[in-house]
């Protein structure tokens, strides 16, 4: 009995096996690439951390203030210097307790300028002001000067934080310094409601997770800061970060209402309000004011709120020595700001009252105090 062999059978079998073998080889290559990438990520994540990356301040979602800094000792994005946030969301080495009879407290509200961008815990103007006051002529009081600034806050959120702090008996200051915030194109974030607000808070949470990564810090917030980081912030702000076009959408009524509400709450609780107008690199008396800046200066004059205007003070100085970028002061710049605030604080009725032994309850924060500095 003879057996016949089909010559096509071997060919068909080879044809069936060959694609499977190629698929396995392809999968092995892909797996090697994935494993290699993961190993590279781990190496980068571990290797970058000793250089400060992965240790930036984390901002968690907050229903009222949208984002607030988590407590702890971290590092500044620029220069990688120590920044300490207490459990009350303030840049201060300790948690605040209700004021003692011999304590005088100043809290500054605003954005990264007020928080102390790129300088350590002892070198932002609030910390320098505290040192100057405690070494000054008023020896009857122990002075606290605290930064309540939060990175990227617009004026509307700074005003909301001021209200929250002033209404809190534990935190309430004697003087509330409201520093003008440059993030004027984010003012309408406080108006987010319902699902829009929920979506925004979810994005804040996503960013807080990403910011724990040293790789994200290094590539996005350092190397590609001017490109990728601000594009990411565009996504987080969901179209509210409209850059120069924001000038066409300014809500002057909202801005003025926030100033009115802040002053009303301060006066209700016998807290002296002071405005601080930051200078910027290259700004001088001929630089056009933003409409919000004009509104704040006009409001201060109308309501007799002391105004510390740093533009005419810093414009004649060496700009590279005063500023580390367009808006954030160097240590030397913070020293100049603290000096000007110190001069203003010495003119305040409640400061003079306590230094002269008069009860704070007898002092009305709404009295005309110091002339408004103009450009």
Burial class from Cβ neighbours inside 10 Å (0-12, 13-18, 19+) for residue 133 reads: buried
Higher pLDDT pick, 17 / 73: 73
Cβ atoms of 138 and 355 within 8 Å: the answer is yes
Find, among 269, 156, 179, 200, the residue nearest to 59 by Cα: 200
Assess whether pLDDT exceeds 50 at residue 371.
Answer: no
Assess whether pLDDT exceeds 90 at residue 309.
Answer: yes
- Percent of the residues in the chain that have a pLDDT greater than 70, as a whole number: 84
Mean pLDDT, residues 338-350 taken together: 97
Cβ atoms of 305 and 324 within 8 Å: the answer is no
Mean pLDDT, residues 9-34 taken together: 72
Assess whether pLDDT exceeds 60 at residue 92.
Answer: yes
Higher pLDDT pick, 109 / 13: 109
Assess whether pLDDT exceeds 50 at residue 366.
Answer: no
Give the model's pLDDT for residue 130. 98
CATH homologous superfamily of 86-189+253-362: SGNH hydrolase (3.40.50.1110)
Quote the CA–CA distance of 113 and 107 in Å, as a whole number: 14
Query: Where in the chain are the domains?
Result: 86-189+253-362
Find, among 277, 266, 292, the residue nearest to 341 by Cα: 277
- pLDDT band with cut points at 50, 70 and 90 for residue 26: confident
Give the model's pLDDT for residue 223. 83
Higher pLDDT pick, 66 / 231: 66
Give the model's pLDDT for residue 184. 85
Give the model's pLDDT for residue 221. 87
- pLDDT band with cut points at 50, 70 and 90 for residue 339: very high
Give the model's pLDDT for residue 367. 46
Give the model's pLDDT for residue 208. 95
pLDDT in tens, 57-73: 999 999 999 999 999 99
Find, among 306, 63, 357, the residue nearest to 202 by Cα: 63
Assess whether pLDDT exceeds 90 at residue 167.
Answer: yes
Give the model's pLDDT for residue 299. 98
Three-state SS for 214-274 is HHHHHHHHHHCHHHHHHHHHHHHCCCCCCHHHHHHHCCHHHHHHHHHHHHHHHHHCCCEEE
pTM, whole model, 2 decimals?
0.86
Q: Provide the mean pLDDT of the chain.
A: 88
Would you state the structure tokens that stand for residue 372, as one six-digit string?
A: 């408004």
- pLDDT band with cut points at 50, 70 and 90 for residue 361: low
Assess whether pLDDT exceeds 90 at residue 7.
Answer: no
- When mean pLDDT is compared across 105-109, 144-148, 214-218, the lowest value belongs to 214-218
Q: What are phi and psi of 49, to 5 degrees?
A: -60, -40
């Amino acid at each position: 009995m003879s057996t016949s062999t089909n010559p096509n059978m071997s060919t068909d079998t080879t044809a069936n096996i060959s694609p499977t073998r190629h698929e396995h080889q392809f999968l092995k290559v892909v797996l090697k690439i994935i494993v290699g990438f993961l190993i590279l990520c781990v190496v980068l994540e571990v290797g970058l951390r000793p250089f400060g990356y992965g240790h930036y301040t984390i901002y968690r979602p907050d229903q009222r203030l949208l984002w607030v800094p988590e407590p702890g000792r971290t590092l500044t994005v620029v220069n990688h210097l120590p920044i300490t946030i207490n459990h009350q969301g303030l840049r201060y080495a300790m948690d605040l307790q209700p004021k003692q009879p011999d304590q005088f407290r100043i809290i500054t509200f605003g954005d990264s300028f007020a928080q102390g961008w790129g300088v350590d815990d002892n070198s932002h103007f609030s910390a320098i002001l505290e040192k100057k006051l405690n070494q000054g002529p008023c020896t009857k009081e122990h002075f606290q000067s605290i930064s309540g600034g939060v990175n990227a806050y617009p004026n509307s959120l700074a005003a909301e934080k001021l209200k929250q702090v002033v209404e809190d008996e534990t935190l309430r200051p004697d003087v509330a310094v409201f520093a003008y915030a440059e993030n004027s194109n984010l003012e309408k974030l406080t108006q987010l409601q319902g699902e829009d607000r929920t979506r925004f808070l979810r994005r804040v949470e996503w960013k807080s997770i990403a910011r724990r990564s040293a790789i994200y810090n290094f590539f996005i917030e350092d190397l590609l800061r001017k490109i990728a980081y601000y594009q990411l912030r565009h996504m987080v702000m969901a179209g509210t970060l409209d850059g120069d076009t924001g000038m066409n959408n300014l809500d002057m009524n909202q801005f003025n209402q926030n100033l009115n509400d802040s002053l009303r709450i301060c006066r209700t609780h016998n807290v002296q309000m002071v405005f601080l107008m930051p200078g910027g690199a290259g700004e001088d008396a001929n630089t056009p004011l933003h409409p919000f800046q004009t509104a704040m200066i006009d409001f201060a004059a109308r309501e007799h709120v002391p105004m510390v205007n740093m533009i005419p003070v810093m414009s004649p100085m060496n700009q590279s020595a005063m500023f580390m970028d367009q808006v954030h002061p160097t240590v030397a710049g913070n020293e100049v700001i603290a000096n000007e605030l110190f001069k203003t604080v010495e003119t305040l009725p409640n400061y003079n009252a306590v230094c002269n032994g008069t009860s704070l309850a007898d002092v009305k924060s709404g009295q005309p105090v110091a002339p408004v500095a103009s450009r």
